Amino acid sequence: MNTDDKNGAIMLQNTKAKKQTYALKGYADYKAQILENRLSGLLLKVNDSEVWTRLIGNFNAYNVLAIYATAELLGLEKVEILRLISDLESVSGRFQYLISDEKITAIVDYAHTPDALKNVLETINSIRTKNEELITVVGCGGDRDKTKRPKMGGHIATALSTKVIFTSDNPRSEEPQAILDDIEKGGVEPQNFKKALTISDRKQAIKAACQMAQPNDIILIAGKGGHEDYQEIKGERFHFDDYETVQEILKQLQK
């Protein structure tokens, strides 16, 4: 159990089962320390051993520590566990990134709820320097919870990014512009108006982000990724893969 998590601590107090704990901050059976935190991965000290993983962010430090603890309790050798951890790759569409020849980092993440988007943006902001701009491309799906639209756009994206491009996600039966209006009207604070622009066409929005980015800047494309390689518009699904799209555009811009 994660003793840094309040819920984990509550579970620990109320279970009669055999317990093993892990933590980055508090006391635990399995401890880890983040030695380096980069967009290319994490260098961790797990108990007395160092390991590099290509997984990114504090939340993945906890995930790696949980993997290490579970594997050791199942009888695997420490050296083998560390080797396997160093070979891990991120799941498609979950903080999946590429770095162009121009040193522009593009991150594709499935984050499509306010909490998920906030976590991803806070993770990036904890790693990037003040000289690296963060350009976020984000939208909200149609025929879904409308109350999250202003939260996703104004309350989170514009507050935690240098620049934001609002665009279509899966509009489904709704008009794309109506969704974008909901995102902007209720959420963007006056001081953040200059940060945001709207481009309904998702491919063009990604292209604009790539054109705006300078070397060492970071582009986050949120809301799709992984298994969701399509856009649903008026009852039809069209192939659209965020990772493929940004990869193709960055290559074209390098020519």
Segment 231-255, tens digit of pLDDT: 999 989 999 999 999 999 999 998 7
What is the model's pLDDT at position 190?
Answer: 80
Segment 173-207, tens digit of pLDDT: 999 999 999 888 767 888 888 999 999 999 999 99
Domains and CATH numbers, the chain: 6-87 (3.40.1190.10), 96-254 (3.90.190.20)
What is the model's pLDDT at position 232?
Answer: 94
In this model, does residue 79 exceed pLDDT 90? Answer: yes
* pLDDT, average across residues 10-15: 92
* pLDDT, average across residues 103-126: 94
In this model, does residue 226 exceed pLDDT 80? Answer: no
Give all strands of the β-sheet with 163-166 in edge-to-edge order.
96-99, 105-109, 218-222, 134-138, 163-166, 196-198
What is the model's pLDDT at position 186?
Answer: 64
Q: Which two tokens stand for residue 212?
A: 């705006």
Give the rounded percent of residues in the chain with a pLDDT score beyond 70.
100
